[in-house]
Amino acid sequence: MTKSYWIKDLSLSGLGRKKIYWAEQEMPILTSIRERFSVEKPLKNLKIGACLHITKETAVLVRTLREAGAEVYLCASNPLSTQDDVAAALVDEGFHVFGWRGMSQREYYECIGYVLSSQPNITIDDGADLVSSIHKLYYNTLADEISLIKNITGELSGREILKNIMGGSEETTTGVYRLKSLAREGKLLYPIIAVNDALSKSLFDNPIGTGQSAIDGVIRATNTLIAGKDVVVVGFGRVGSGIASRCRGLGARVTIVEVDPINALRAAMDGFRVESMLTASKHGEIFITATGNINVIRREHFQVMKDGVILANAGHFDVEICKKDLEELSKMVEKTSDHITTYVMEDGRRLHLLGDGRLVNLACAEGHPSSVMDMSFSLQALSAEYIVKNFKNLPREVIPVPREIDLLVARLKLKSMGLELEEMTEEQKRYLESWYLGT
Ligand code: NAD
Ligand code: ADE
């Protein structure tokens, strides 16, 4: 390993520090966990390899992990989501940070290589690129990204990297899908906690965090008026349902495209119009994808879209809106602003893609508000502690966040908001547990 950090510009650290301070004010649970960690040191002498969006909220998490005794190696989980001033502030504080906004695919994987070179004891991932790289190295998989990583890790084998690992955690739906696929094939090499699936994460971060921040991304990139707009949201799962309801709240007319009959029905009974992608493509003015799936908007859809439409993605990878088809259909491709690429079709129609089709809330705005990340990242910190205490007994599977941690995070959040929780009486507890009393 030859670098202890690799970022854009260390001189940006002053502004980054102020942003982290701002985030901290909105993250009371995580800072209270940090206070306990600073006394108990549950991660003492451990190395944590994290592949996360490098934001001011992530900075609060890594400060918490360090206070717990860990040495943190952090790389970007997306080439366009790093806040360079925050990365600089972290390096200034002695963290090993690898990533900057606008890095290439090659640099992205080299940065993962630097984190793996540290031979972490715990991995924290957002999208499973770190964990899948470890698995590809271990199984000697031939893949372009693996030769890039090997350029950095050198002689270090997948087996040697694995040797130190106690467990890991995963932040997002797409990452959990990928890990479950590894587990289904019997190839998952160590236990990984699905932080995404905790209720205090997926009922808040996914719909409410992305609901607000994805729209924030569209507005910051375009300053377009949402009121009165014909908005098509593709996917009505945890993220899409949040975006749809927030768009409606801002006065948009919202159509949902879904493949799952239950979620399509939920959307219909929530009062949304439900259509196929082709039908919606003919009238939509703003399209936001949130499926975690590939090529959900593609050639046949672009061909019937109106002039001037806005295309944005909130899903984890930049695969939901098919950029290859957009390019092939265009007579000209123009960068019309920092965040907008305009594809001019053969017939002159202009289709505007935001943030290169990467997650619009992080590529064009600042990601979720700190207050929501407070819950997600408290789960991450408590999961790391749980792994250290329990790794010898954990199965090599994708495992849920323990219920008591999930409830604790919800309780602490309520308390920090000054809200009261009703308590059941002993009689009520007995009643709910009994079969005896009826009509
Ligand atoms: P989810 O599984 O709850 O919802 C996805 C929905 O998309 C499902 O209802 C599914 O039926 C639907 N879908 C799948 N293929 C489709 C298609 N071709 N057309 C229409 N609908 C389709 O997942 P989620 O938690 O909502 O996450 C969605 C994506 O957002 C994932 O990639 C996740 O990692 C990502 N995510 C992003 C952020 C962010 O900050 N931008 C935050 C959380 C999650
Ligand atoms: N994912 C979504 N929003 C985020 C944020 N603000 N920081 C880190 N990861 C995020």
At 144-183, the pLDDT tens digits run: 999 999 999 999 999 999 999 999 999 999 999 999 999 9
The verdict on the CB of residue 179 being under 6 Å from ligand 1 is no
- The pLDDT of 272-290, averaged and rounded, is 98
Which structural domains are found in the chain, ordered by start? Answer: 10-202+368-416 (3.40.50.1480), 207-363 (3.40.50.720)
SS3 of 392-424: HHCCCCEEECCHHHHHHHHHHHHHHCCCCCCCC
The verdict on the CB of residue 196 being under 6 Å from ligand 1 is no
Q: Residue 394: its pLDDT value, please?
A: 98
Query: Distance between CA atoms of 300 and 325, rounded to whole angstroms?
Result: 9
- The more confidently predicted of residues 424 and 439 is 424
Query: Distance between CA atoms of 345 and 181, rounded to whole angstroms?
Result: 38
User: Would you place residue 1 in the very low, low, confident or very high pLDDT band (cuts 50, 70, 90)?
Assistant: low
Q: Is 418 left (phi over 0), alpha (psi -120 to 50) or beta?
A: left
Name all residues whose Cβ lies below 6 A of ligand 2. Answer: 52-53, 55, 57-58, 362, 367-368, 373
Distance 427 CA to ligand 2 centre (A): 43
Give pLDDT tens digits for 347-361.
Answer: 999 999 999 999 999
- Which ligand has an atom closest to residue 174 CA? 1
Give pLDDT tens digits for 75-92.
Answer: 999 999 999 999 999 999
Q: What is the DSSP letter of 250?
A: T
- The pLDDT of 306-332, averaged and rounded, is 98
Atom 31 of ligand 1: nearest residue by CA position: 292
User: Would you place residue 142 in the very low, low, confident or very high pLDDT band (cuts 50, 70, 90)?
Assistant: confident
Mutational test site, ligand 2, from 317, 376, 377, 380, max ligand atoms within 8 Å of CB:
376
The verdict on the CB of residue 207 being under 6 Å from ligand 1 is no
The verdict on the CB of residue 286 being under 6 Å from ligand 1 is no
Mutational test site, ligand 1, from 52, 78, 174, 239, max ligand atoms within 8 Å of CB:
239
Distance 173 CA to ligand 1 centre (A): 7
Distance 432 CA to ligand 1 centre (A): 36
Give pLDDT tens digits for 212-250.
Answer: 999 999 999 999 999 999 999 999 999 999 999 999 999
- CA-210 nearest atom, ligand 2: 2
- Which ligand has an atom closest to residue 365 CA? 2
Q: Which residues contact 52 (CB under 8 A, 6 or more apart)?
A: 58, 61, 74, 76, 77, 124, 125, 126, 171
Q: Residue 23: its pLDDT value, please?
A: 98
- The pLDDT of 43-64, averaged and rounded, is 98
Residues in the chain: 439
Q: How many CB atoms lie within 10 A of CB 434?
A: 9
Contact between 277 and 296 under an 8 Å Cβ cutoff? The reply is yes
The verdict on the CB of residue 173 being under 6 Å from ligand 1 is yes
For residue 19, what are the CA distances in angstroms to 15, 59, 83, 270, 418? Answer: 6, 10, 10, 38, 25
Give pLDDT tens digits for 326-379.
Answer: 999 999 999 999 999 999 999 999 999 999 999 999 999 999 999 999 999 999
- Which ligand has an atom closest to residue 290 CA? 1
Mean pLDDT of the chain: 97
Q: Could you give phi then psi for residue 118, rounded to 5 degrees? A: -75, -10
Cα 425 to chain center, whole Å?
Answer: 40
